[in-house]
Amino acid sequence: MKITITGSLGHISKPLTETLVQKGHSITVISSKADKKDAIEALGAVAAIGSLEDAEFLAATFNGADAVYAMVPPVNFFDPTVNVLAYYRRIGSNYVQAIGQSGVRRVVYLSSVGAHLSEGTGIILGAHNVEEILNKLSGVALTHVRPTSFYYNLLSFIPAIKNTGIITSNYGAGDNISWVSPLDIAAVVAEELESPLAESKVRYIASEELTGN
Protein backbone atom coordinates (compact mmCIF):
# COMPACT_ATOMS: atom_id res chain seq x y z
CA MET A 1 0.00 0.00 0.00
CA LYS A 2 0.95 3.62 -0.52
CA ILE A 3 0.35 5.40 2.78
CA THR A 4 0.89 9.05 3.71
CA ILE A 5 1.59 9.86 7.35
CA THR A 6 1.34 13.26 9.00
CA GLY A 7 2.99 14.14 12.29
CA SER A 8 6.63 14.06 11.14
CA LEU A 9 8.69 11.84 13.49
CA GLY A 10 6.55 12.41 16.57
CA HIS A 11 5.74 10.03 19.40
CA ILE A 12 3.17 8.16 17.27
CA SER A 13 4.22 8.85 13.69
CA LYS A 14 7.79 7.57 14.06
CA PRO A 15 6.90 4.07 15.37
CA LEU A 16 3.98 4.00 12.93
CA THR A 17 6.35 4.70 10.04
CA GLU A 18 8.81 2.06 11.25
CA THR A 19 6.06 -0.55 11.53
CA LEU A 20 4.57 0.11 8.11
CA VAL A 21 7.95 0.25 6.35
CA GLN A 22 8.89 -3.08 7.93
CA LYS A 23 5.67 -4.53 6.55
CA GLY A 24 6.67 -3.51 3.04
CA HIS A 25 4.38 -0.53 2.53
CA SER A 26 5.44 2.57 0.56
CA ILE A 27 5.39 5.38 3.12
CA THR A 28 5.49 9.15 2.71
CA VAL A 29 5.94 11.21 5.87
CA ILE A 30 4.89 14.85 5.97
CA SER A 31 7.02 17.19 8.10
CA SER A 32 7.14 20.96 8.33
CA LYS A 33 10.84 20.82 9.22
CA ALA A 34 13.38 20.35 6.44
CA ASP A 35 15.97 19.11 8.94
CA LYS A 36 13.82 15.97 9.46
CA LYS A 37 14.28 14.86 5.86
CA ASP A 38 17.39 12.72 6.40
CA ALA A 39 15.93 11.04 9.51
CA ILE A 40 12.70 10.22 7.67
CA GLU A 41 14.57 8.76 4.71
CA ALA A 42 16.78 6.76 7.07
CA LEU A 43 13.62 4.90 8.14
CA GLY A 44 12.96 3.92 4.52
CA ALA A 45 10.21 6.47 3.93
CA VAL A 46 9.86 9.41 1.55
CA ALA A 47 9.97 12.85 3.15
CA ALA A 48 7.45 15.47 2.04
CA ILE A 49 8.42 18.84 3.51
CA GLY A 50 5.58 21.30 3.80
CA SER A 51 2.82 22.66 6.00
CA LEU A 52 -0.60 21.28 6.90
CA GLU A 53 -1.74 24.89 6.53
CA ASP A 54 -1.18 24.47 2.77
CA ALA A 55 -4.13 22.52 1.35
CA GLU A 56 -2.64 22.36 -2.15
CA PHE A 57 0.59 20.85 -0.78
CA LEU A 58 -1.49 18.28 1.12
CA ALA A 59 -3.52 17.38 -1.96
CA ALA A 60 -0.37 16.89 -4.04
CA THR A 61 1.21 14.75 -1.32
CA PHE A 62 -1.93 12.66 -0.83
CA ASN A 63 -2.26 12.06 -4.55
CA GLY A 64 -1.89 8.36 -5.35
CA ALA A 65 -2.06 7.28 -1.69
CA ASP A 66 -4.22 4.32 -0.71
CA ALA A 67 -4.58 5.61 2.84
CA VAL A 68 -3.74 8.62 5.00
CA TYR A 69 -3.00 9.00 8.71
CA ALA A 70 -4.17 12.48 9.69
CA MET A 71 -3.39 14.31 12.91
CA VAL A 72 -3.36 17.93 14.06
CA PRO A 73 0.07 19.01 15.37
CA PRO A 74 0.01 20.66 18.80
CA VAL A 75 0.26 24.42 19.18
CA ASN A 76 1.06 26.53 22.22
CA PHE A 77 -2.25 26.16 24.04
CA PHE A 78 -1.17 28.78 26.60
CA ASP A 79 -0.48 31.49 24.03
CA PRO A 80 -3.41 33.95 24.31
CA THR A 81 -2.85 35.11 20.73
CA VAL A 82 -3.55 31.61 19.35
CA ASN A 83 -7.17 30.71 18.57
CA VAL A 84 -6.80 26.98 19.14
CA LEU A 85 -10.28 25.97 17.98
CA ALA A 86 -9.92 28.02 14.79
CA TYR A 87 -6.56 26.32 14.18
CA TYR A 88 -8.17 22.87 14.50
CA ARG A 89 -10.99 23.84 12.15
CA ARG A 90 -8.53 25.20 9.61
CA ILE A 91 -6.43 22.02 9.55
CA GLY A 92 -9.57 19.87 9.41
CA SER A 93 -10.89 21.85 6.45
CA ASN A 94 -7.52 21.52 4.69
CA TYR A 95 -7.69 17.76 5.16
CA VAL A 96 -11.17 17.62 3.63
CA GLN A 97 -10.05 19.69 0.64
CA ALA A 98 -6.89 17.63 0.11
CA ILE A 99 -8.63 14.28 0.54
CA GLY A 100 -11.36 15.33 -1.88
CA GLN A 101 -8.93 16.57 -4.52
CA SER A 102 -6.59 13.57 -4.27
CA GLY A 103 -9.26 10.87 -4.21
CA VAL A 104 -7.99 9.13 -1.07
CA ARG A 105 -10.56 6.59 0.12
CA ARG A 106 -9.14 5.44 3.50
CA VAL A 107 -8.35 7.85 6.35
CA VAL A 108 -7.42 7.31 9.99
CA TYR A 109 -7.69 10.44 12.13
CA LEU A 110 -5.99 10.85 15.52
CA SER A 111 -8.78 12.26 17.68
CA SER A 112 -9.15 12.08 21.47
CA VAL A 113 -11.21 10.54 24.21
CA GLY A 114 -14.04 12.99 24.88
CA ALA A 115 -14.32 14.04 21.24
CA HIS A 116 -17.91 12.80 21.14
CA LEU A 117 -18.89 15.80 23.29
CA SER A 118 -19.74 19.13 21.69
CA GLU A 119 -19.10 21.31 24.76
CA GLY A 120 -17.40 21.44 28.14
CA THR A 121 -14.16 19.71 27.11
CA GLY A 122 -11.77 22.61 26.58
CA ILE A 123 -9.22 22.06 23.81
CA ILE A 124 -10.59 18.56 23.16
CA LEU A 125 -13.42 20.39 21.44
CA GLY A 126 -10.90 20.93 18.64
CA ALA A 127 -10.73 17.18 18.02
CA HIS A 128 -14.54 17.03 18.09
CA ASN A 129 -14.71 19.76 15.46
CA VAL A 130 -12.23 18.00 13.17
CA GLU A 131 -14.22 14.76 13.46
CA GLU A 132 -17.36 16.65 12.44
CA ILE A 133 -15.56 18.25 9.50
CA LEU A 134 -14.11 14.95 8.29
CA ASN A 135 -17.49 13.25 8.65
CA LYS A 136 -18.72 15.40 5.77
CA LEU A 137 -16.45 13.49 3.36
CA SER A 138 -18.30 11.29 0.91
CA GLY A 139 -17.05 7.89 -0.21
CA VAL A 140 -14.23 7.81 2.35
CA ALA A 141 -13.80 5.01 4.89
CA LEU A 142 -12.88 6.94 8.04
CA THR A 143 -11.68 5.74 11.42
CA HIS A 144 -11.54 8.18 14.32
CA VAL A 145 -9.09 6.79 16.88
CA ARG A 146 -9.68 8.19 20.37
CA PRO A 147 -6.76 7.50 22.73
CA THR A 148 -7.05 8.16 26.44
CA SER A 149 -4.50 10.13 28.54
CA PHE A 150 -0.92 9.79 27.29
CA TYR A 151 1.61 8.37 29.74
CA TYR A 152 4.18 11.03 28.88
CA ASN A 153 1.81 13.77 30.05
CA LEU A 154 2.73 12.61 33.57
CA LEU A 155 6.16 14.14 33.02
CA SER A 156 4.57 17.57 33.45
CA PHE A 157 4.16 16.75 37.15
CA ILE A 158 7.93 16.61 37.71
CA PRO A 159 8.41 20.32 38.66
CA ALA A 160 5.57 20.14 41.20
CA ILE A 161 6.94 16.92 42.66
CA LYS A 162 10.39 18.48 43.01
CA ASN A 163 9.09 21.72 44.52
CA THR A 164 6.18 20.53 46.69
CA GLY A 165 6.43 16.76 46.90
CA ILE A 166 2.89 16.28 45.59
CA ILE A 167 0.95 15.79 42.36
CA THR A 168 -2.01 18.14 42.00
CA SER A 169 -4.74 17.35 39.51
CA ASN A 170 -8.50 17.53 39.08
CA TYR A 171 -9.15 13.84 39.77
CA GLY A 172 -9.05 11.95 43.05
CA ALA A 173 -6.15 9.82 44.23
CA GLY A 174 -8.41 6.76 44.12
CA ASP A 175 -10.00 7.42 40.74
CA ASN A 176 -9.17 5.11 37.84
CA ILE A 177 -7.62 6.95 34.92
CA SER A 178 -7.03 5.25 31.56
CA TRP A 179 -3.51 5.76 30.21
CA VAL A 180 -2.09 4.96 26.80
CA SER A 181 1.32 4.47 25.24
CA PRO A 182 2.08 6.08 21.86
CA LEU A 183 3.39 2.66 20.79
CA ASP A 184 -0.04 1.14 21.36
CA ILE A 185 -1.65 3.98 19.42
CA ALA A 186 0.78 3.43 16.54
CA ALA A 187 -0.04 -0.28 16.50
CA VAL A 188 -3.79 0.40 16.30
CA VAL A 189 -3.37 3.05 13.61
CA ALA A 190 -1.24 0.65 11.54
CA GLU A 191 -3.91 -2.02 11.88
CA GLU A 192 -6.63 0.40 10.82
CA LEU A 193 -4.67 1.70 7.83
CA GLU A 194 -4.17 -1.86 6.58
CA SER A 195 -7.76 -2.91 7.18
CA PRO A 196 -10.41 -2.49 4.48
CA LEU A 197 -13.42 -0.67 5.82
CA ALA A 198 -16.84 -0.33 4.28
CA GLU A 199 -18.09 2.42 6.58
CA SER A 200 -16.72 4.87 9.12
CA LYS A 201 -16.18 3.98 12.76
CA VAL A 202 -14.69 5.11 16.08
CA ARG A 203 -12.04 3.13 17.94
CA TYR A 204 -10.85 3.85 21.48
CA ILE A 205 -7.30 3.05 22.61
CA ALA A 206 -6.02 2.51 26.17
CA SER A 207 -3.07 0.61 27.57
CA GLU A 208 -4.13 0.28 31.22
CA GLU A 209 -5.99 1.91 34.09
CA LEU A 210 -4.15 3.38 37.05
CA THR A 211 -5.21 5.40 40.09
CA GLY A 212 -3.38 8.46 41.32
CA ASN A 213 -2.23 6.38 44.28
Angle at 203 between CA 198 and CA 207, to 5 degrees: 145
Q: What is the pLDDT of residue 168?
A: 86
- Report the alpha-carbon distance of residue 119 to residue 73 in Å, rounded: 21
- Report the alpha-carbon distance of residue 46 to residue 138 in Å, rounded: 28
Cα dist. 153→20, 71, 180, 183, 204 in Å?
Answer: 26, 18, 10, 15, 18
Q: What is the pLDDT of residue 213?
A: 87
Note down pLDDT in tens along the chain; length 213 residues: 999 999 999 999 999 999 999 999 999 999 999 999 999 999 999 999 999 999 999 999 999 999 999 999 998 878 888 899 999 999 999 999 999 999 999 999 999 999 999 999 999 999 999 999 999 999 999 999 999 999 999 999 999 999 999 888 888 889 999 999 999 999 999 999 999 877 899 999 999 999 988
The pTM assigned to this predicted structure is 0.94
Show me where the domains of the chain are located. Answer: 2-151+179-207
- Report the alpha-carbon distance of residue 191 to residue 24 in Å, rounded: 14
Q: Under CATH, which number does the domain 2-151+179-207 receive?
A: 3.40.50.720
Q: Where are the alpha helices (DSSP H) in the chain?
A: 13-22, 37-42, 55-62, 84-102, 124-134, 158-164, 182-194
Q: Are strands 46-49 and 201-205 parallel, antiparallel or unpaired?
A: unpaired
Q: What is the pLDDT of residue 75?
A: 87
- Report the alpha-carbon distance of residue 27 to residue 127 in Å, rounded: 25
